[in-house]
Structure 1
Amino acid sequence: MAKLTALKPSLRSPPPLLTTPPKLADRFYLTKEWRDLVASIKRERGPYCEAVLPSGQVCRSGNRIIGDHIQERRDGGADLDRNNVRLLCFACHQAKTAAARKARARGRV
């Protein structure tokens, strides 16, 4: 008796018509002035996340720490004012940026 084998599907999913363009870093964040400022803040404050969590505690993660404008540049925040920069881990930065984008879309900024 012959064995039945599964046939490979002959139809494939079509390629997506729309793709997300790759994210390009704003040239400002590649400047020596910005990098020097963030390095200086990390030396001064320590390389830990300064985000306040919903529980009221400070995150303090040391994972992928980046400098973040408290008031975003596009919303009028000063570029190189160290008082407008806090250190955030990547996860907290993504959450903060998404919330700011949502608020801006609703016209609250």
Structure 2
Amino acid sequence: MSRIPILSPLVPKSDGRSVQTEPKRVDPFYQSDGHKRFRDAVLARAGYRCEWIENGQRCTKAAPAHRLFADHVDERKDGGDQLDPANGECLCGQHHSIKTARARAQRFGLKG
């Protein structure tokens, strides 16, 4: 019995997007010594624990088990001070994403 050769597909594989997005690039600001000092100060002040408050309880996620972000309370895009630790809060990845999405929605006039 002879085997039937399998042909490769005629249509190339696609990820389904009609427009390809550009690869992410790190903003050089986040690599600066000033931002590193800002980040260190914000995380240390918070005791390396997420500062998000929900239902009257502070988030329990903390370093080293969880990745933490020094988030700008008033975002840089909205004119917030970039390097003042008083404009920073320590957030875990989940709460950083929520806060950023809400700020973006508000910036574009959507509910957030």
Q: What interval of TM-score do these two structures reach, taking the shorter chain for normalisation?
A: 0.7 to 0.9
Question: Alignment length, in residue pairs?
Answer: 103
Tell me, yes or no, if the aligned pair for 1:65 and 1:87 is still in contact at 8 Å: yes
Greater shift in the superposed pair: 75-84 or 12-21: 12-21
Aligned residue for 2:51, secondary structure, equals: coil
CA RMSD of aligned residues (A): 2.4
Residue in structure 2 matched with residue 43 of structure 1 by the alignment: 44
Q: In percent, how many aligned pairs have the same letter? A: 33
Within the alignment, does 1:61 sit opposite 2:58 as a pair? no
Tell me how far 1:29 sits from its aligned partner: 1.3
Inter-CA distance 14–48: structure 2 relative to 1 (3 Å threshold)? same
TM (normalized to structure 2)? 0.75
Which segment drifts farther, 27-36 or 65-74? Answer: 27-36
Equivalent position amino acid for 2:60 in 1: R
1:100 to 90, 99, 103: 103
Q: Which runs of 5+ in 1 are unaligned?
A: 1-6
Cα deviation per residue 1:27-58 (whole Å; 9 max; x = unaligned)? 111111111221133233311110122x2321
Equivalents in 1 of 2:7, 2:103: separation in Å? 47
TM-score, scaled to structure 1: 0.77
Q: Segments of 4+ in structure 1 off by > 3 A?
A: 7-14
Structure 2: unaligned runs, 5 residues or longer:
1-5
CA distance in 1, matches of 2:25, 2:18: 21
Shift of 1:106: 0.8
